[in-house]
A = this chain, B = another copy of it.
């Protein structure tokens, strides 16, 4: 599969490549390889030497970190168009987390050495990459603020809304999270246990806010969920 020629049209519209000329883009794509991953596959693992960085074209990835004690934390979800595995930009020799495909995924990969070349040679790309990191930093701070100040139910509400915004697809009955999410996953995003998540979601389901199922999630009433997230709706009746 590697070294198949990559179609410029596929990536031209990604925000990451905004204001990058066709000429530059061809140059950039020349050193890329395309890879396919099936659900469950690891794109890279925590601690491994960071010899590549990636852009996700299709699918979803879950990036996790494992604590020394073996507890897992979900750092973020990678959505199509996202840059990931950019350990090099952090001047790290290894990947700080593990990236797993949660559904069938396709990514472009470049050798790490290309990073600095791209950054120095394509200022527009550098600005876009910086913006990507900025967005990620803001999300991390938002989550920190939540973890520091909010009770579990509100954190779960925010996590679910974030999933709906980033990876939701509108359906007749609400917003569907269009990849498999387990209660354990939500627990690892919010710093709680799957038990607590289960209790909260069943309560919400009774209230008609969401509809769950085995690794399925449909948000029926985002507005009321937002109220819960902001502490303006009951919760602990």
Interface residues of chain A, those whose CB is within 8 Å of chain B, are 65, 67-69, 71, 73, 75, 86, 89-92, 96, 116, 119-120, 123-124, 126-127, 129-131, 133-138, 140-141, 143-145, 147-149, 188, 190-191, 230-231
Contact = CB atoms under 8 A, between A and B. Distances in A.
Given A73-B149, A137-B140, 10 more contacts: A69-B231, A71-B149, A73-B148, A96-B138, A120-B127, A123-B126, A130-B130, A133-B134, A133-B137, A140-B140
B149 A91 contact: no
A90 B147 contact: no
Nearest to A76: B141
A94 to B, nearest CB: 12
Nearest to A140: B140
B134 A89 contact: yes
A227 B29 CA distance: 47
A76 B43 CA distance: 32
Contact of A123 (B119, B133, B143): B119
Nearest to A150: B67
B135 A126 contact: no
B145 A144 contact: no
A73 B129 CA distance: 27
Contacts of A67: 145, 149
B65 A145 contact: yes
A69 B149 CA distance: 9
Given A120-B127, A123-B123, A126-B130, A191 B136 contact: no
A140 B4 CA distance: 38
Nearest to A135: B90
A90 B140 contact: no
Contact of A90 (B131, B188, B190): B131
14 contacts: A65-B141, A67-B145, A86-B134, A89-B130, A90-B131, A90-B135, A90-B138, A92-B138, A119-B123, A123-B123, A137-B137, A144-B144, A147-B147, A148-B191
